[in-house]
Amino acid sequence: MVIATDWPRLAIICVLFTAAAGGVAWWAALTTARPFVRAAARAVVQLAVVSAVITVVLTRLPLTAAFLVLMASVATATSAARTKTGKKGIWVGAAILAGTVPAMAALMLSGLVPLEGIALIPIGGILIGGAMTATTLSTRRALDTLSDRYGEYEAALALGFTVPEATRELIRKPAAEALLPALDQTRTVGLVTLPGAFVGMLLGGAPVWQAGALQLVVLLGLLAVEVVAVTTVIELVARGRVRRASQQGELRLT
């Protein structure tokens, strides 16, 4: 493929895309260009490292398992940083794993995904990544809602709601908005988007029907994983397990 061998043009296009993202964000006063440059630089380094070690990882099941654990750990750290939950950020890992682990187990036990690194790492990465995104978005929306609608929270407590009940009533719908990207991707697959699993199998020479079947399983698995992640976030926030450092003394928990 041209993109795999024409390194000068590849580098130029990557720099152009990064500059466009950072430049437009700066011009529109959305943020500075720094996050985009840093993200691009990290992507280059991380993909280079992964490319160097992936061959060994894929051939040994214990190394594959260790790599999946690393992926989940990085996802937890990333979500905790994005939600600014400090020491309590470790709890977001429970939301990420709550749906991912059962989903991976179901895929392996059903025989749809063989116990091989070449299958486990891509599928696991997709599910962990989806759970991470849903966890981050739902946690941010839930905690923002608690702060912005604190008066309603207090009013619910005054009416006799318990703390978890009052919290759930406020954050359930805002947190559920994190499911919209996954729902829209599933609803428009084949018409608007051709996701990575489908394209990857086609490029690898798999029959079209087989690529479509795998993509269907992945998309529906993502829906299940993300719903479980959002539900877990709601419960963790309702029980005070997930809070921002600035909210520790702000919310009355009794």
Q: Each residue's pLDDT tens digit in the chain (254 positions)?
A: 444 557 788 889 999 999 999 999 999 999 999 999 999 999 999 888 888 888 788 888 999 999 999 999 999 999 999 998 877 778 999 999 999 999 999 999 998 888 888 889 989 999 999 999 999 999 999 999 999 998 999 999 999 999 999 999 999 999 999 999 999 988 988 777 776 666 676 666 667 777 778 788 889 999 999 999 999 999 999 998 998 866 655 555 44
What is the per-residue pLDDT for 1?
45
What is the per-residue pLDDT for 247?
62
What is the per-residue pLDDT for 210?
73
Domain boundaries along the sequence of the chain? 1-59, 61-247
Classify domain 61-247 by CATH number: 1.20.1640
What three-state secondary structure class fits 116? coil
What is the per-residue pLDDT for 56?
83
3-state secondary structure the chain: CHHHHCHHHHHHHHHHHHHHHHHHHHHCCCCCCHHHHHHHHHHHHHHHHHHHHHHHHHHCHHHHHHHHHHHHHHHHHHHHHHHCCHHHHHHHHHHHHHHHHHHHHHHHHHCCCCCCHHHHHHHHHHHHHHHHHHHHHHHHHHHHHHHHCHHHHHHHHHCCCCHHHHHHHHHHHHHHHHHHHHHHHHHHECCCECCHHHHHHHHCCCCHHHHHHHHHHHHHHHHHHHHHHHHHHHHHHHCCCCCCHHHCCCCCCC
What is the per-residue pLDDT for 169?
93
